[in-house]
Structure 1
Amino acid sequence: MRNRRVKVAVVQAAPILFDKQSAMDKIAKMTKEAVEQGAELIIFPEVFLPGYPRGLSFGARIGSRTAGGRKDWERYWSSAITVPGDETKQIGEWAKEWGVHLVIGVVERDQEFSTGTLFNTVIYIGPDGKLLGKHRKLVPTGSERLLWGQGDGSTLTVIDTPFGRVGGLICWENYMPLARTAMYAQGVDIYVAPTADARDSWQATIRHIACEGRCFVLSCNQFATKESYPADLAYYSDLEQDPDVLSRGGSAIVGPLGDYVVEPLYDQEGMLVATLDLSEIARSRFDFDAVGHYSRPDVFQLIVNATKQDIVRRNQ
């Protein structure tokens, strides 16, 4: 029998950009604070480790790149992690020490074929300290494509927990109707949405997903300022015309009928904590279940290719 109630925490913060240790220290600090408030499931923002490089160009224009931009890129690449790796092992030790589930956005360096490719990834770590799964962003948005490769269908991850099924999509993946459907079809109860989108329209998105999927949505954004950027970047000047607050946050928790459990937090670092009653999900699906009684498989069908896409296949 599942525990139908769970206390969750959504972290709205940012590390020092390009500083892996700063991110690790903040994960430990804010996990401890969340545990002290009774949280069992803790969510960190998109690419929290080692940060979202909002506003930086890396010296790239159509048709050209610069030496300074390549150095900034190398610095970002150096602050990425492998999954699994030393950092996931350390985070797992914290999760085990405090007996919590952790969901954290990271920049992942590929370690299987080419170490030159990074991914925007979410990792899931259980209270036993084990890496339970990961999801790589399917389509990096706009200029993000300069930084991150594309994930594949093998990481459309939903994990079982004692309190329900947890999974989700990253930022503008949530605008992909078929990707959302793939998550609903895996029975997601707690839908995590790490993001870098602080616009008012994002709130309409997460409330729609909660109502459409009849699930709890935990939206998690960074609160980031210029102070969190190293001033010695080659292209720090990209930020000259930007305000001091680069991302105002907007993290929120939404219930399965689309109403706020915790309203959006703006213009400050903080943590949203709430106790979710998972029994609300069954009640909400009484009149709408997107992949159940309200579906029409005789009219519409979704095919998900969940095969890992390897660029090299070695025959034995």
Structure 2
Amino acid sequence: MTSQRIVRAAAVQIAPDFDDPGGTLAKVCAAIDEAADKGAQIVVFPETFVPYYPYFSFVLPPVLQGPPHLRLMERAVVVPGPVTAAVAERARSRGIVVVLGVNERDHGSLYNTQLVFDADGALVLKRRKITPTYHERMIWGQGDAAGLKVVDTAVGRVGALACWEHYNPLARYSLMAQHEEIHCAQFPGSLVGPIFAEQMEVTIRHHALESGCFVINATGWLTDAQIAAITPDAGLQKALRGGCHTAIVSPEGKHLAPPLTEGEGMLIADLDMALISKRKRMMDSVGHYARPELLSLAVNGRPAATTFAMPASATDSSTLSNGSLHDHDRQSSLAIEPATDDRVAVLRVAAG
């Protein structure tokens, strides 16, 4: 039920610590405490905030990215690991839902990963950005749809996307079809210039209206000293300013607090969950306003893998061709769950 329930939310605009490997985590824990002290029940941090977003990849040519890329790998987060344990304990001790962006290291690869910790400290969602954007493809691997989920938490049904994933309408629709109540958006901030913030506002307000949910958006911030440390080129430094728009938006597309576009800070707003029903009474994009018999979405929820076990039947030479399964065997192995009728908006491939 979404009626007669108020959730206090916090969105954090904050600068990382480039120098101390544990410094950014310390800032996260301090911000969790501050949010909890202000009565927040959920707090959202910027994209890949721990240890920091790879701003260097936006302004440095590939030939110069080796040292900062290796440094990022050395400081990246293993999930589960010491960083997730520390955040989980702080979430549990303060009774607050935490949505944190990290650079996740999985052996020799990095991923843009979003983590959701419930108020009891449980890690209830780990998802990887589906497609890194532009310069980010030099840094991160591609994610999959295994984590494209809405999860039940102490504050309600929570979903998350990172940055330009909000320009993927099918990814957004997948979360909408799972009836998210609070959408957590994360952007790097301090990038591209003012136009980035303007585009961001359009994007998050539109999702709030279309989904009929609240959106909590958090962006990062860089100090002048940090910008100078990334590049001494004054021209390139312009590309590392602006682009901040930390905001909290209602299902009616209204800002619940003045957006934060400069400096570090924290927005606090109360989410009246009854507004979800108020909005969806008129327009429910995945309910009475949908036309699933005309338009539907298929989601492959299987985790991406570089290896898979051969079915027993595939060991017979009649089913092998150049060491691979025939197309018809591949298709049958997907085991798509059929919709019970033609009024299902999302066809989800079995995650086996």
Q: Report 1:6-45 matches (<5 A).
A: 6-17=7-18, 19-45=20-46
Residue-pair matches, total? 304
Deviations 1:235-285 (A, max 9, x none): 744566414963452101110011111231111110000111111101110
2:298 to 294, 303, 312: 303
Query: How many angstroms does 1:56 deviate by?
Result: 3.9
Q: Trace 1:56-71 onto structure 2 (pairs within 5 A).
A: 56=57, 60-61=61-62, 65=63, 69-71=65-67
Question: Equivalent residue of 1:88, what SS?
Answer: helix
How does the TM-score come out when normalised to structure 2?
Answer: 0.81
Identity over the aligned pairs, expressed in percent? 37
The residue number in structure 2 matching 1:88 is: 84
Unaligned runs of 5+ in 1: none
* Bigger mean CA offset, 199-208 vs 138-147: 199-208
CA distance, structure 1, for counterparts of residue 166 and residue 58 of structure 2: 25
- Report the structure, 1 or 2, having the larger helix content: 2
Q: Normalising by the residue count of structure 1, what TM-score does the alignment of the two structures yield?
A: 0.90
1:124 paired residue number: 116
Q: Deviations over 1:38-95 (max 9, x none)?
A: 011010000110111324458544xxx3xx5322211011110111111101111111
2:74 counterpart of 1:73 = no
Once residues 179 and 108 of structure 1 are traced to their aligned partners in structure 2, the CA distance between those partners, rounded to angstroms, is 21
Letter of the aligned partner of 2:120 in structure 1? D
One-letter amino acid of the structure 2 residue matched with residue 151 of structure 1: G
Task: Please give the alpha-carbon distance, in whole angstroms, between the structure 2 residues aligned to 1:59 and 1:264.
Answer: 30
Aligned to 1:249: 244
Please give the alpha-carbon distance, in whole angstroms, between the structure 2 residues aligned to 1:199 and 1:265.
10
Asked if structure 1 preserves the Cα contact closer than 8 Å seen for 2:42 and 2:155, the reply is no
> Which letter does structure 2 place at the counterpart of 1:305?
N
Following superposition, the deviation at residue 199 of structure 1 comes to 2.3
Could you tell me how far 1:313 is from its partner in structure 2?
2.2
Aligned with 1:303: secondary structure? strand
- Going from structure 1 to structure 2, the CA distance change for 1:248 and 1:224 (only over 3 Å counts) comes to farther
Distance in 1 (alpha carbons) for counterparts of 2:234 and 2:31: 28
Structure of higher CA gyration radius:
2
Q: CA deviation at 1:163?
A: 3.0
2:97 maps to which of 79, 94, 101: 101
Structure 1 CA distance for aligned equivalents of residues 227 and 19 of structure 2: 8
Question: Relative to 1, partners in 2 of residues 1:244 and 1:153: Cα closer, same or farther, differing over 3 Å?
Answer: closer
Within a 5 Å distance, the mapping from 1:140-179 to structure 2 comes to 140-179=132-171
- Taking the aligned partners of 2:87 and 2:228, their CA distance within structure 1 comes to 25
